[in-house]
Amino acid sequence: MNDAFGRPQSMVVLAGTSEIARAVVRRTVADRCRTVVLAGRNPTTLAEAAAEAVAAGADDVPTLLFDAGDPTGARDAVDRCFAAAGGEVDVVLVAVGELGDQSVDETDPERTAAMLTVNFTWPAAAMVAAAARLRTQGHGRLVVLSSVAGVRVRRANFVYGSSKAGLDAFSVGLGEALRGSGAGVMVVRPGFVRTKMTLGRPEAPFATTADVVAEAITDGLASGAEVVWAPGALRWVFAVLKNLPATIWRRLPG
Ligand SMILES: NC(=O)c1ccc[n+]([C@@H]2O[C@H](COP(=O)([O-])OP(=O)(O)OC[C@H]3O[C@@H](n4cnc5c(N)ncnc54)[C@H](OP(=O)(O)O)[C@@H]3O)[C@@H](O)[C@H]2O)c1
């Protein structure tokens, strides 16, 4: 249960090695969240992330393995995470994602399917499993990392962008379905964030850091926000970009 100030006491992270997720964990643990469970695909980097959370003040941080390439394992991954957290969870952070290689992903059907699975199908299945647990608890927030890339999909990265568009729409819908249950969804729409995902790629305008996104997320949790943009100015930038005529949108750099 959140503490008397509405701060989460327990958190499950699906993709605990994500740099954005690690920044969120550092902030929530500093704010006295003690129970943290990290799930991911790489035991070595998961152990590093767990050690970082313990050093920040979390209790023992269990780590669990899952592969987002296999959506049939999503329910099991979520069940194992809740069990490791002791049964009840205040925040489930869904950070799994892959930027991919657009030139391959738009021409190789297996890669197209793999991208949509990791970025959309697995997270959506995991969110349904987690939502059922939160609904039963009667409290808790699902926080999902969407992207501005899904707000208006670009030719240059339409495979990744469309997977995020799908995930974003799904998450908004799931939030509506949870309304009145005590549980809820917060959709996070970062722009370009300097993490290992974007390493070596040209920066987009309003490029930011994982710490800035983490601050937006913890502020959003505290205020009960349903949608968070990071940095916040992107909300207004995309209100304009979304409505540009296609002929102008196509000519924008990036
Ligand atoms: N960086 C940005 O500019 C940006 C902008 C908007 C939204 N986002 C979204 O924010 C989220 C976190 O991204 P990030 O910037 O923190 O990048 P990141 O550090 O690369 O995080 C991506 C996470 O997804 C995990 N992952 C990828 N494929 C997986 C698979 N098949 N099975 C299990 N886990 C898998 C990665 O595991 P490994 O560590 O083992 O690779 C990593 O934990 C992603 O959903 C991303 O799309 C990022």
Q: Quick one: which atom of ligand 1 is closest to the CA of 148? A: 6
Q: Quick one: which atom of ligand 1 is closest to the CA of 188? A: 7
- Pocket of ligand 1 contains residue 69 by CB under 6 Å: yes
Per-residue pLDDT averaged across 135-163, rounded? 97
> Model confidence at 60, in pLDDT bands (50, 70, 90)?
confident
**Contact yes or no for 83/3 (Cβ under 8 A):** no
Percent of the chain with pLDDT over 70: 98
> Model confidence at 4, in pLDDT bands (50, 70, 90)?
low
Q: Quick one: which atom of ligand 1 is closest to the CA of 15? A: 43
**Contact yes or no for 19/98 (Cβ under 8 A):** no
- Pocket of ligand 1 contains residue 68 by CB under 6 Å: yes
- Is 160 annotated as catalytic? yes
> Model confidence at 3, in pLDDT bands (50, 70, 90)?
confident
The third-level CATH classification (topology) of the domain covering 10-251 is Rossmann fold (3.40.50)
Q: What is the pLDDT of residues 47-57, one digit of tens each?
A: 999 999 999 99
Q: Could you give the CA distance from residue 228 to residue 143 in angstroms, rounded to a whole number?
A: 10
- Pocket of ligand 1 contains residue 150 by CB under 6 Å: no
Q: Could you give the CA distance from residue 60 to residue 170 in angstroms, rounded to a whole number?
A: 33
CA distances from 113 to 42, 53, 108, 117, 138 (A): 22, 34, 9, 6, 35
Q: Could you give the CA distance from residue 44 to residue 220 in angstroms, rounded to a whole number?
A: 31
CA distances from 237 to 98, 106, 151, 231 (A): 24, 27, 11, 11
Q: Could you give the CA distance from residue 37 to residue 62 in angstroms, rounded to a whole number?
A: 5
Residues 6+ apart with CB under 8 A from 243: none
- Pocket of ligand 1 contains residue 35 by CB under 6 Å: no
pLDDT higher than 80, residue 190: yes
Residues 6+ apart with CB under 8 A from 128: 74, 174
Tokens of 251: 């000519």
Q: What is the pLDDT of residues 84-140, one digit of tens each?
A: 999 999 999 999 999 999 999 999 999 999 999 999 999 999 999 999 999 999 999
Residue with token string 């209100």: 239
Domain boundaries in the chain?
Answer: 10-251
The protein residue with its alpha carbon nearest to ligand 1, atom 10, reads 145
